[in-house]
Amino acid sequence: MLGIVSFLADVSSEMVYPLVPLFLTSVLGAPLAAVGLIEGLAEGAASLSKTVGGWASDRLRVRRPLVFAGYALSAVAKPLLAAAYVWPVALLVRFGDRTGKGIRTAPRDAMVADVTPSELRGRAFGFHRAADTLGAVAGPAMALGLLAAFADNFRLIFILAFLPAVAGVALTTQRVTIVVADEDGRPLRPAIVWLDQRQTEGLKPIGGRWGVAFLAAGVTETVARFQADAEANWIERHEPDVWRRIRRYGVLSSWLTARLVGRWVDSSAAQVGYLPFDFRRARWAGRLDWKWEVAHFDRAWLPELVDPTGTLGELTAGAAAHLGLGRAVPLIAAAGDKQAEALGAGALTPEIAALSFGTTATIGTTHRRYLEAIPLVPPYPAAIPGAWFVELQVLRGFWMVEWFKREFGAAEIARGEALDVPPEALFEELLAASPPGSMGLVLQPYWMPGVRYPGPEAKGAIVGFGDIHGRAHVYRAILEGLAYGLREGAERTVRKSGVPIRELRVSGGGSQSRAAVQLFADVFGVPAGRLAQTHEAAGLGAAIDAAVGLGLHPDIGTAVHEMVHLGEVFEPEPGRHDLYEQLYRRVYLRMYARLKPLYEDIRRITGYPRR
């Protein structure tokens, strides 16, 4: 594997190295003396960092992190040349590239020696050097061809030089979005996205022994809701011509994976939706399972399943070209967006809860045993093989911030346009203008009904209005209500697992708000951390699966240790936590039970939410 990585890294480096002097003189207008200075300092950095890398490898007794850091630094530095418009920037980029080479060289050679039997070391080093040399030959040849093909577009070539360093790719997508296609993978209709609320009325209830079991368990309406929400039933009833032509039925990731590798295959951890899926086994349900009675699924329509970190296939030539890759690389199985987000946040154990501040706000914990926090609401397969992700949701989550902006944020929208900043950034001022607890304004965030808890009759509510309340209090109450709702879900999981939550890891767009993260730390009473490198943790989680699947890291734990870097940590403020504790225990937790009869009456009177 190191030989392959070295080959790709050398292809990438040697695509750039011969072009740098031309780029500096003809594009940036650098004097010849600057060219000599840049290359001299770059090579000096490489020599010095080799010494430092070797010393650190022995002194710290680590190899892999230094090798990974060296390759990563070189890979990231090369495309930055495309952004250079003055020659000192090119100096910094070349310095970083060659420093990366120096850092990795000695630990890499030591790794080869460490893992190779003494009688095979000559062969191993020979293979590794041959890969280096082959890359050094292929790189300039590719650069010459690209230079001719792209009419001396140096900047584009520097960007393309990053691509040979791509050893593999992974995919994570939104969940519960259904695509139906023919035998050739051509979609038969637009995708039915996860927020779609269409339902099929008047379906025959599931009967027989399953119907009796559901009646005894008090979940008949839950199962009926599952039937009504299943996209397959709607398509069969309303689009019979489409239904007859279906040969592939799956979630969005299944269809995209087929487009990438040319096979009807997907990750087992991406199967979240109204599908005949056995969440305990992470496989399609057995033939006697009740889920086959929900809709007239055909087993032949469903994709082959591969567990996270497994190989789904190799990119087709067309897919590789579309992604700008010069060659086909493996596609590694990852997971749905929320499971990948938890992995990217480093939430590997039940003590660490992953909070996702997205359109749907979720809190989840990773477990090594199957655990249903709410009966008949299964945990999803985690982005970690052999683990489950117990997830509780507030379905409209941080969408409510968008709702507030649309309905009450005209002033911030206008100011944002004038200042060229997102209106949401100005909402921080509303949090600063309202005290913790919103002066007793408490919000129940059920703007979209649930399935089991909250139930299908649920509605949103705000209680505690007085003449002192304004927009700022409402905005803070939205965030506090989301925090209360997610805490309630987390406590259900804790009661089932017996493992208390000691830390929050926050990601998603809403996590960019320092005030919002602090608010959640105060409500939960535990530290809340966010990542140093990105708020888009789902992509990082998919990259972790890819790194393990490609053998760049031996296991998930090691990959998380090396790839996930915690940034700012927000400690709960005791006084605010005490206030929130009282509002949560004495007000919020009582609201749903007290209001549920009214919600049911509203549903009967108005027909909303639909039965």
CA distance 537 to 488: 24
Upper half-sphere CA count for residue 95 (Cβ side, 13 Å): 9
pLDDT at 164: 59
Q: Kindly write down the DSSP assignment for every residue of 340-388, as one continuous string.
A: HHHHHTT--STTEEEEEESSSEEEEEEESS---SBTTBPPEEPSSTT-E
Instruction: State the alpha helices, DSSP H only, in 150-230.
Output: 154-160, 208-217, 220-229
Could you please state the CATH topology (level 3) that the domain comprising 170-326 is classified under: Nucleotidyltransferase; domain 5 (3.30.420)
Q: How high is the pLDDT of residue 462? A: 97
The SS3 assignment for 304 reads strand
Report the CATH superfamily, name and number, of domain 2-165: MFS general substrate transporter like domains (1.20.1250.20)
At 372, is the pLDDT very low, low, confident or very high (cuts 50, 70, 90)? very high
Please tell me the predicted confidence (pLDDT) of residue 10. Answer: 64
- Angle at 437 (CA atoms; ends 436, 438), nearest 5 degrees: 90
Across the chain, what does the average pLDDT equal?
88
Reply yes or no on whether the pLDDT at 2 is more than 70. no
Are 351 and 499 in contact by the 8 Å Cβ rule? The answer is yes
**Contact between residue 222 and residue 213 where contact means Cβ atoms under 8 Å apart:** no
Q: How many helices (H) and strands (E) does the chain have?
A: 24, 18
pLDDT at 475 over 70: yes
- Hey, where are the domains in the chain? 2-165, 170-326
What's the rounded mean pLDDT across residues 500-515? 93
| Average pLDDT over every residue of 446-465 | 88
Lowest mean pLDDT among 109-113, 437-441, 549-553: 109-113
Q: What is the pairing mode between strands 311-314 and 304-306?
A: unpaired
Range with lowest mean pLDDT among 134-138, 317-321, 338-342, 422-426:
134-138
The predicted model scores a pTM of 0.76
pLDDT at 452: 75
Q: Which residue has the tokens 């207008």?
A: 29
Phi/psi of residue 250, nearest 5 degrees: -170, 175
d(CA 151, CA 491) in angstroms, rounded, equals: 61
Percent of the chain with pLDDT over 90: 60
The 10s digit of each residue's pLDDT in 537-572 is 999 999 999 999 998 889 999 999 988 989 999 999
**Contacts with 173 (C-beta within 8 Å, 6 or more apart), sequence order:** 251, 252, 253, 256, 270, 336, 337
Residue 79: pLDDT band (50, 70, 90) is low
Cβ atoms within 10 Å, residue 150: 13
Q: How confident is the model at residue 512 (pLDDT cuts 50, 70, 90)?
A: confident
CB proximity list for 397: less than 8 A, separation 6 or greater: 357, 358, 359, 360, 361, 362, 445, 482
Q: Rounded to the nearest 5°, which phi and psi values hold at 237?
A: -80, -45
Residues 334 and 413 sit within 8 Å (Cβ to Cβ)? no
User: Does residue 436 or residue 133 have the better pLDDT?
Assistant: 436
Contact 88, 61 (CB under 8 A): no
pLDDT in tens, 150-196: 666 777 766 666 655 678 999 999 999 999 999 999 999 999 999 89
| Among 242, 256, 97, 95, CA closest to 165 | 97
At residue 115, the pLDDT reads 62
> pLDDT (tens digit, 9 = 90+) per residue, 266-311?
999 999 999 999 999 999 999 999 999 999 999 999 999 999 999 9
pLDDT band at 65 (very low <50, low <70, confident <90, very high): confident
Q: Which two tokens stand for residue 374?
A: 């709410």
Residue 16 reports pLDDT greater than 80: no
Highest mean pLDDT: which range of 16-30, 140-154, 298-312? 298-312
Distance CA 174, CA 272 (A): 9
